[in-house]
């Protein structure tokens, strides 16, 4: 129904169907986005099309459970605007506990003062520990050195826990303030995720090679010339990963090891993941520069690809053919004998997305959650 302009008193005696539970929500922040209810009754699905609240007045919404709904002993739930980056928060922008009720019928009234926006704000005490492994980490395969960083969970030193690892390219743009090409702000996004007790992961960030970045992030003959990506990939798999596993408490198996990046960093991550599925079981591919290798082959003869997960992202406003290239790449993956029935692929398209760090930053926590921590894919 179309919302009217009448303010509904929060204490009004709303009518409900016999033996059904109705939830009435009031919120002071209305921005046009739909409001969802997620809880232990729908596997905490934040975009369940059957769980959208109906606007019934100014700042007032309603959700009716089906008459035949089977309730848990205690109903636990939260309100979101489509995912955990837009979940309800408290008056002082604090994380709030799950809501609960034992009602099976009648009316439950709730109030949300504020909503989280783009995984912000963050709390400094949840920021990851940022460790510079070396100003000149040796890359013997390329006869050079590079800065390499590790971002550890905020409480890493206080636990004996082991963690999954994500290897990311282009470290200059991932967490440094005033980075010349933008900042993903992954440190802040990880802080918010940690507050929600998800995203307990080690990020290893490798700086790119500046003027040699394009050559280092391509493999074989490409539109840009012959690349040295095979040597760079060998550095990741033969030098860097063994070092990380030896010096940090990691979960070393492929199901807990990922690789990712954006643009050219996304392209080399595709090469790395498809050539080494026995090492990388998670791929986070943002806006990959597939135009560089229009004839990219997907024919690696490796059996150990079960449970591989690939998160693909593209923005409509990036270029005339970015989304088309990414969709075609997905289809080729799905029809490849190498991939068929073995991989899970999540394709995310942002209609407003441009080719820059702001949009990759928005997508980062969603990708990490789906790749490593999602209960339901």
User: What are the structure tokens assigned to 85, written together?
Assistant: 């980056």
Which has the closest alpha carbon to 288: 329, 231, 233?
A: 329
Which has the closest alpha carbon to 302: 372, 232, 254?
A: 254
Model confidence at 314: pLDDT above 90 = yes
Domains for the chain: give ranges and CATH numbers: 21-115 (2.60.40.10), 124-373 (3.40.50.1820)
| Report field, pTM of the whole predicted structure over 0.95 | no
Question: What confidence score (pLDDT) does residue 19 get?
Answer: 64
Model confidence at 149: pLDDT above 80 = yes
Non-local (6+) Cβ contacts of 140 within 8 A are 235, 239
**pLDDT, tens digit (0-9, with 9 covering 90-100), for 315-338:** 999 998 999 999 998 888 877 765
β pairing state of 282-286 and 202-206? unpaired
Which of helix, strand or coil describes residue 104? coil
User: What are the structure tokens assigned to 188, written together?
Assistant: 């802040």
Model confidence at 375: pLDDT above 60 = no
User: What are the structure tokens assigned to 104, written together?
Assistant: 């099976």
Distance CA 109, CA 13 (A): 11
Model confidence at 3: pLDDT above 60 = no
**pLDDT, tens digit (0-9, with 9 covering 90-100), for 45-101:** 887 889 999 999 989 999 999 888 888 899 999 999 887 878 999 999 888 999 999
pLDDT, mean over the chain: 87
Question: What confidence score (pLDDT) does residue 337 get?
Answer: 61
Non-local (6+) Cβ contacts of 111 within 8 A are 10, 25, 26, 27
């Amino acid at each position: 129904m179309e919302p009217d302009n009448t303010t509904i008193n929060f204490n009004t005696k709303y009518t409900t169907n016999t033996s059904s539970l109705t939830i009435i929500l009031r919120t002071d922040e209305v921005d046009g986005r739909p409001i969802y209810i997620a809880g232990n009754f729908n596997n905490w699905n934040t975009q369940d099309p059957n769980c959208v609240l109906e606007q019934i007045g100014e700042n007032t919404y309603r959700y009716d459970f089906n008459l035949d709904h089977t309730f848990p002993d205690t109903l636990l739930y939260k309100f979101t605007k489509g995912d955990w980056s837009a979940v309800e928060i408290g008056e002082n922008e604090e994380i709030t506990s799950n809501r609960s009720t034992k009602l099976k019928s009648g009316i439950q009234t709730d109030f949300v003062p504020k909503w989280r926006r783009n995984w912000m704000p963050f709390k400094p005490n949840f920021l990851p520990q940022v460790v510079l492994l070396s100003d000149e980490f040796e890359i013997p395969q390329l006869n050079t050195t590079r800065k390499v960083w590790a971002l550890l969970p905020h409480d890493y030193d206080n636990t004996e826990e082991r963690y999954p690892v994500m290897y990311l390219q282009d470290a200059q743009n991932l967490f440094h303030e005033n980075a010349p090409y933008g900042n993903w702000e992954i440190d802040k996004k990880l802080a918010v995720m940690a507050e929600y007790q998800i995203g307990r992961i080690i990020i290893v960030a490798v700086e790119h090679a500046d003027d040699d970045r394009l050559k280092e992030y391509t493999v074989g003959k490409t539109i840009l010339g012959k690349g040295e990506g095979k040597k760079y990939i060998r550095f990741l798999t033969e030098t860097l990963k063994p070092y990380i596993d030896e010096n940090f408490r990691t979960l070393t198996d492929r199901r807990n090891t990922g690789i990712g990046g954006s643009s050219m960093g996304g392209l080399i991550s595709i090469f790395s993941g498809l050539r080494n599925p026995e090492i990388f079981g998670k791929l986070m591919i943002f806006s990959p520069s597939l135009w560089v290798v229009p004839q990219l082959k997907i024919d690696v003869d490796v059996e150990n690809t079960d449970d591989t997960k690939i998160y693909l992202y593209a923005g409509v406003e990036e270029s005339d053919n970015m989304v088309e290239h990414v969709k075609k790449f997905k289809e080729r993956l799905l029809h490849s004998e190498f991939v068929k029935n073995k991989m899970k692929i999540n394709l995310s398209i942002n209609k407003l997305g441009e080719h820059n760090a702001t949009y990759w930053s928005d997508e980062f926590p969603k990708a990490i959650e789906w790749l490593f921590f999602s209960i339901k894919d």
